[in-house]
């Protein structure tokens, strides 16, 4: 595939936070190993002056998704905690970047970065039509954010060299990719971008 980043494109980096890294509250194997590739994408969009949206899971301390409150997850990404911070090596440019906090209401969870956030209007303001999505977790927030984008009429690409999943049950990630493909996403990787080769 040959892709170039245009004025209608944005990058969405999903939930690259300490609690999702190995050793974190909801650690994902290999999540730290995609940081450098994500940084490659961030630099590419930065170089071409296109916006980058960094989402973060940002839960109140009594969040409904936590086991102690009847949810399915260990306590994670509590607002302002160390675990909720972005990975220390994640490259966050000083311009043209936005942080989107999700899951911020105590009594409902949001796997999609479009749920209860300003992401849609921020993209609309810039006339963004196509979004490239990477980060964690393939089988939760990445998938739901990507399907949310499709539902809102965006073209989407799943950056398969810059994602990792939870894989609570074997096959969850493969099923998530299948679902995204059926919904109409493209799969791409860094070498597909011609701007990067020149």
Which active-site residues does the annotation give?
A: 15, 102, 141
Q: Which of 31, 35, 141, 173 binds ligand VGL (CB under 6 A)?
A: 141
Question: Should residue 15 be labelled a site residue for ligand VGL when binding is judged by CB under 6 A?
Answer: yes
Q: How many CB atoms lie within 10 A of CB 47?
A: 12
Q: Name residue, tokens 């979004």.
A: 131
Site for ligand VGL in 113-132 (CB under 6 A): none
Nearest approach in angstroms of CB 64 to ligand VGL is 11
Mutual angle of helices 172-182 and 143-151, in 10-degree steps: 10
Q: Which of 22, 52, 18 lies closest to 159, judged by CA?
A: 52
Strands (E), 9-83: 9-14, 52-57
Q: Which of 24, 57, 58, 193 binds ligand VGL (CB under 6 A)?
A: 57
Site string for Zn ion, 122-161 (x = CB under 5 A): ----------------------------------------
């Amino acid at each position: 595939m040959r892709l170039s980043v245009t004025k209608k494109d944005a990058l969405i980096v999903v939930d690259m936070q300490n609690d999702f890294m190995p050793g974190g509250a909801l650690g994902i194997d290999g999540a730290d190993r995609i940081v450098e590739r994500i940084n490659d994408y961030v630099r590419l969009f930065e170089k071409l002056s296109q916006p980058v949206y960094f989402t973060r899971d940002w839960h109140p301390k009594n969040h409904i998704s936590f086991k102690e409150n009847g949810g399915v997850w260990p306590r994670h990404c509590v607002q302002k905690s160390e675990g909720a911070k972005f990975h220390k090596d994640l490259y966050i440019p000083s311009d043209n970047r936005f942080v989107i906090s999700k899951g911020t209401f105590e009594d409902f969870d949001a796997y999609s970065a479009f749920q209860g956030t300003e992401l849609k209007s921020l993209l609309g303001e810039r006339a963004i039509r196509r979004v490239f999505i990477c980060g964690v977790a393939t089988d939760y927030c990445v998938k739901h954010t990507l399907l949310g984008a499709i539902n809102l009429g965006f073209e989407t690409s799943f950056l398969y060299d810059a994602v990792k999943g939870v894989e609570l049950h074997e096959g969850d990630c493969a099923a998530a990719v299948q679902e995204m493909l059926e919904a109409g996403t493209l799969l791409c990787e860094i070498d597909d971008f011609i701007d990067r080769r020149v």
